[in-house]
Amino acid sequence: MMLITSVKAFEDNIKLFLKEAGIQSYTYQDVNGFKDCSGLSVKDNWFANDKSECESVLFHVFTEQIKTDGFLQKAKMFNEKQATANAIHAVIINTDKTL
């Protein structure tokens, strides 16, 4: 299983990368991203707010490893080109049993 999360603005990019990797079935939902910025200096947090929420998206994917590898490769290349701190985050979770 692969979980993918990012800011909402990258939703279409993720869907394209899934399609290009041959992944035709997945679920996704809108979620609220949250970051506690209380440990950052005012200089590093120009919103000057202790808590920051943003519109995000979460994908759940059940597919073969070769397809997740293809997605991860595309997401990594995308992230390397980003000028912002936002990125596509993905994690592979091994499942021992499925139904």
- How far apart are alpha carbons 99 and 91 in whole angstroms? 21
Angle separating helix axes 65-80 and 11-20, nearest 10 degrees:
140
Structural domain span for residue 73: 54-98
Number of structural domains (the chain) is 1
**Residue 13 forms part of a structural domain:** no
- C-alpha closest to that of 73 among 20, 12, 29: 20
**Residue 1 forms part of a structural domain:** no
pLDDT tens, residue by residue, 36-90:
666 655 555 445 455 578 899 999 999 999 999 999 999 999 999 998 888 999 9
* Cα dihedral 41, 42, 46, 52 sign: positive
Phi, psi values for residue 31, rounded to 5°: -135, 165
pLDDT tens, residue by residue, 17-32:
999 999 999 999 999 9
**Residue 59 forms part of a structural domain:** yes
Residue 51 has what pLDDT? 59
Tokens of 41: 């200096």
